[in-house]
Structure 1
Amino acid sequence: MNLNCIKYIYFLGIGGIGMSSIARYFHIIGKVVYGHDKNKTFLTEKLEKEGISINYHDCIEILPKWVTSKKCLIVYTTAIPRNHIQWIFLKKYGKNIKKRSQILSIITENKICIAIGGTHGKTTTSTLLCHILYVSGISFTAFLGGISENYNSNLILNGNKFFLVEADEFDHSFLHLSPNIACITSLDQDHVDIYPKKDSLKQAYIRFYKRIKKPYKKIFICKEDTFLENVANNAIFYSIKDKEYYYSNHLHIKENKWYFDFHTPKKIWKSLPLSIPGEHNLKNVTAALAISDYLKIDKRKIRKALFLFQGIKRRYSIHYQSKNKIYIDDYAHHPTEINALIYTVRKCFPNKIILGIFQPHLFSRTKFFEDAFAESLGNLDILILLDIYAARELPIDGIKSENLLKKIKISPDQKEVSSISKVLEKIEKKFFDIILTIGAGNIDTLIFPIKEFMKKKYG
């Protein structure tokens, strides 16, 4: 597809984190961008303030006249339900219809593309690498899967020498990409509706690896969190446990801040700051540093970028902290991520009573990982378990939060199921030191109310 022939772009599901960055990109380069989403959110409001028109009603009467023109590109997310009225109309009358992942491929196909893949850690790795590129003055454009705290955006436009993207495995989206440099941060089973067996996930990543092209044609693989050692014969491995080609060690806390040492094949970089704490984040930082060193970015600029890095919204985001109370929000929605989050919080704040508010995301994920969720959530002291966020799915018989709650080994008087609207009144009755909001659905709508509650009650 020749994007130069496209004047108008209509996004179905424009408020998604991946969709919104592409919408911003086309808006900035001069296309007429319009979109639809089910609900008004922080992201859609920000897009509207930037000049993008959005509608929130599923009817065809409000569609712009040019939407069926040959000069219009329709970009959709696979989260759109089949019975969506606009989607049915556009499939029938639209001239150019592409998935979000296909558009990302078209944008990057003739560019030097760096793609960050993996079940966990994509957003942290790509956002830090983006920040390093920016601080180093390198020409690049980045499409991020989260909102960078440094730039308050998921799109960073700083030239076009490199294009940095996240390689999302959902719906095999990443198989549309043909990157020059790739990274696989982890291979942990998820999206079980797409990959019912772990081998099917492995085979998809092997196909992704085979799509890497010249120039560069390099892939960085986390040694301890993947199982591709015997597949990628030209891989560059990194680790936080083994002394691989690149590795980090000596993770330590000093005056409530985290530091580590990073080893390249030639040098040791001592006492680098870890802005987002936790061993799992050290792996992500190690990946970003390895790619930066491979690209021969100046060490002094990399170190400067690390000290200036502010993180990503909804990744260990501390929204309130006083002498005795703390509120942290995190996007963790997989048992492995929840374990890592709770472990890190206990490491940072030992001997504290933790109240976790968790919103399960997807019925299929909750069903597949029910026992693993029960085990990970059992590491909390107090739990408020929200109703399952369906997203693109229909309910599954027998899969509900009440059943999950029964399996969680927390004292019955310290765990309960709640609707999202009742959370604040339940918090008021709890005794805690730390609140964690955890999940990938609409639990983020609790952030402001909880933050205001904490300020009002604890100063």
Structure 2
Amino acid sequence: MRLSDVKRVYFIGIGGIGMSALARYFRYRGVPVTGYDRTQTDLTRRLEAEDMDIHYHAAPELLPPPADDLLVVYTPAIATDFPELMKAREGGYTLLKRSEVLGLISRDMRCVGVAGTHGKTTTTTITTYLMVTAGLDPSAFLGGIARDFDGNYVHGDSDWVVVEADEYDRSFLRLTPEIAVVLSTDPDHLDIYGDHGQMLETGFRAYARKIRPGGQLVVRYDIEEHFSGLENVMVSTFGIGRGDFCAQNIHVRDGAFHFDLREPDGHLITDLRTSLPGRHNVENAIAACAVTRLAGGDEDHLRAGLANFQGIARRFETVLKNGSLVIIDDYAHHPTELTAAITAARELYPNRTIRGVFQPHLFSRTQDFAAGFARALDLLDEAIIIPIYPAREKPIEGVTSQLVYGLMKNEKRRLLSEVQMLEATAELKDGVLLLLGAGDIDALVPRVVAQHRKPQKHDH
């Protein structure tokens, strides 16, 4: 099927962040969009307001009859025995994974693919914003809700497209990027890959081999060794104090990071500024700057874009600040990401108590990284762990949040239900509270915040 032949699209799991961006792509082109998701959320309500018809219970009868102009799109997060997916598989429908559709869209465009176990969404979004500021007019499929675009899909009129290149399910192997970024290659998704060596070989190295001849690979300096031997590809490294694109003279001024960027030819772009927290975000910004420069953006637009970039929902997002108490919402779901978020909080608020609530995401990830999660959470002054969010997975015997709790050394740690967590966080009067995880903890965030916006019972 050619995408130009598609006149109707049905999404199984339309409310996912990647799926909803695709839905918006088709709707923008005037294609009627319908679909299913498990629960109604702010995002699905917005899709409905954008004239998409969504239902929230399994209803195979709502699939239109198979037709040459109908495309059914699904996400791997949907269980293989889900009734609508089974009907689509067995009923003669044109059925494609989300990653396959993204691959078709980007195939005939100049694709920037941003890969890595951490930082993909932030770097993809900064890159898009810098390229827009520079007049390169890209389209983009983002893995989060960007404040600057008020959404996760950006429509552009050039042949550039920026996409988050996801290693889960080897989705990024559907892309053929002109410029590929690899931010990090830490172990993750071992339920898919088996071990870290296979993740590198059949995941990230295979992705780098998909770069078009004459294309560019932008990779963090300390993992360049994994990508030796690429043919017909220019390799550039980036980093803080190291790399072809190198941040120098980093300092914090007026609550923001400032740095100079030395480029491969020795040219220095001075006094770049980003208000994103944490040195990991300085690295993300360097990668985005590198891509924008390789794509033809000039340094004045780079400086303006980086200074004005507003960030992404659930990426170290300050959701309450009332003088004594700060609440920050973050998508961290890997030990490295937890460490980065907690470290950034300490850097911003050095004299405050740093507390955190963590919801582990997936039984398999909890099993693989329990010790890493424990070490990261021990960096908190006080930690609360709530039950695992299973997503697509069935329980694994012996794998619960207790596994992480039992490996921690922090004496001020608690294992609580979601209701108990809400009661505990309602008692807080000061310090910094981090709400951490990639599951449905985001649905609890407004309730945690609301507890500190309403008058307390003892107030008069």
TM-score (norm 2): 0.95
CA distance 1:245–1:110, change in 2 (3 Å): same
Q: Which residue of 2 aligns with 1:155?
A: 153
**Do 1:355 and 1:432's aligned partners in 2 also have CA atoms closer than 8 Å?**
no
CA distance 1:416–1:283, change in 2 (3 Å): same
Q: Which residue of 1 aligns with 2:44?
A: 44
Map residues 41-190 of structure 1 onto 2, 5 A cutoff.
41-61=41-61, 63-66=62-65, 68-190=66-188
**Do 1:402 and 1:417's aligned partners in 2 also have CA atoms closer than 8 Å?**
yes
Q: Which residue of 2 aligns with 1:192?
A: 190
Q: Which residue of 2 aligns with 1:326?
A: 326
Deviates more, 1:399-408 or 1:302-311: 399-408
Name the CA distance, whole Å, in 2 between partners of 1:428 and 1:97: 46
**Do 1:146 and 1:154's aligned partners in 2 also have CA atoms closer than 8 Å?**
yes
For residue 54 of structure 1, report the CA deviation from its aligned partner.
0.5
For residue 343 of structure 1, report the CA deviation from its aligned partner.
0.8
Q: Which residue of 1 aligns with 2:404?
A: 404
For residue 255 of structure 1, report the CA deviation from its aligned partner.
2.6
Q: Does 1:376 find its partner at 2:376? A: yes
Give the aligned residue type for 1:212.
I
Q: Which residue of 1 aligns with 2:205?
A: 206
Q: Secondary structure at the match of 2:163?
A: strand
**Do 2:130 and 2:302's aligned partners in 1 also have CA atoms closer than 8 Å?**
yes
**Do 2:238 and 2:246's aligned partners in 1 also have CA atoms closer than 8 Å?**
yes
For residue 260 of structure 1, report the CA deviation from its aligned partner.
1.6
Name the CA distance, whole Å, in 2 between partners of 1:315 and 1:355: 17
Identity %: 35
Give the aligned residue type for 2:304.
K
Please list the CA deviations of residues 244-265 of structure 1 after superposition, one character each: whole Å capped at 9, or x if unmatched: 2111122211232221221112
Name the CA distance, whole Å, in 1 between partners of 2:286 and 2:133: 18
CA distance 1:395–1:316, change in 2 (3 Å): same
Name the CA distance, whole Å, in 1 between partners of 2:146 and 2:253: 26
For residue 357 of structure 1, report the CA deviation from its aligned partner.
0.6
Name the CA distance, whole Å, in 1 between partners of 2:269 and 2:108: 35
Give the aligned residue type for 2:266.
K
CA distance 1:130–1:228, change in 2 (3 Å): same
Give the aligned residue type for 2:20.
S
Q: Which residue of 2 aligns with 1:257?
A: 256
Please list the CA deviations of residues 130-185 of structure 1 after superposition, one character each: whole Å capped at 9, or x if unmatched: 00111222232100111111111100002132011111111111111111111111
**Do 1:147 and 1:153's aligned partners in 2 also have CA atoms closer than 8 Å?**
yes
For residue 431 of structure 1, report the CA deviation from its aligned partner.
5.8
**Do 1:185 and 1:226's aligned partners in 2 also have CA atoms closer than 8 Å?**
no
**Do 2:250 and 2:257's aligned partners in 1 also have CA atoms closer than 8 Å?**
yes
Give the aligned residue type for 1:108.
S
For residue 422 of structure 1, report the CA deviation from its aligned partner.
3.3
Name the CA distance, whole Å, in 1 between partners of 2:407 and 2:59: 43
Name the CA distance, whole Å, in 1 between partners of 2:68 and 2:296: 44
Map residues 212-361 of structure 1 onto 2, 5 A cutoff.
212-214=211-213, 216-225=214-223, 227-232=225-230, 234-242=234-242, 244-264=243-263, 265-361=265-361
Please list the CA deviations of residues 192-231 of structure 1 after superposition, one character each: whole Å capped at 9, or x if unmatched: 10122111111121111111114x4111111125542534
Give the aligned residue type for 1:253.
V
Please list the CA deviations of residues 277-309 of structure 1 after superposition, one character each: whole Å capped at 9, or x if unmatched: 111111110001011112221211111111110
Give the aligned residue type for 2:288.
A
**Do 1:186 and 1:222's aligned partners in 2 also have CA atoms closer than 8 Å?**
yes
Could you tell me which runs of 5 or more consecutive residues in structure 2 were left unpaired when the two chains were aligned.
none
Q: Secondary structure at the match of 2:24?
A: helix
Name the CA distance, whole Å, in 1 between partners of 2:333 and 2:223: 18
**Do 2:367 and 2:399's aligned partners in 1 also have CA atoms closer than 8 Å?**
yes
For residue 457 of structure 1, report the CA deviation from its aligned partner.
5.5
Q: Secondary structure at the match of 2:226?
A: coil
Please list the CA deviations of residues 355-406 of structure 1 after superposition, one character each: whole Å capped at 9, or x if unmatched: 2010000000000101111100011111111100000100000000123212
Name the CA distance, whole Å, in 1 between partners of 2:129 and 2:181: 17
For residue 82 of structure 1, report the CA deviation from its aligned partner.
2.0
Give the aligned residue type for 1:311.
G
Name the CA distance, whole Å, in 2 between partners of 1:447 and 1:176: 35
Name the CA distance, whole Å, in 1 between partners of 2:455 and 2:227: 52
**Do 2:324 and 2:429's aligned partners in 1 also have CA atoms closer than 8 Å?**
no
Please list the CA deviations of residues 292-345 of structure 1 after superposition, one character each: whole Å capped at 9, or x if unmatched: 112221211111111110011111101111322111111010000101111111
Runs ≥4 residues deviating over 4 A: none
**Do 2:190 and 2:199's aligned partners in 1 also have CA atoms closer than 8 Å?**
no
Name the CA distance, whole Å, in 2 between partners of 1:393 and 1:125: 28
TM-score (norm 1): 0.95
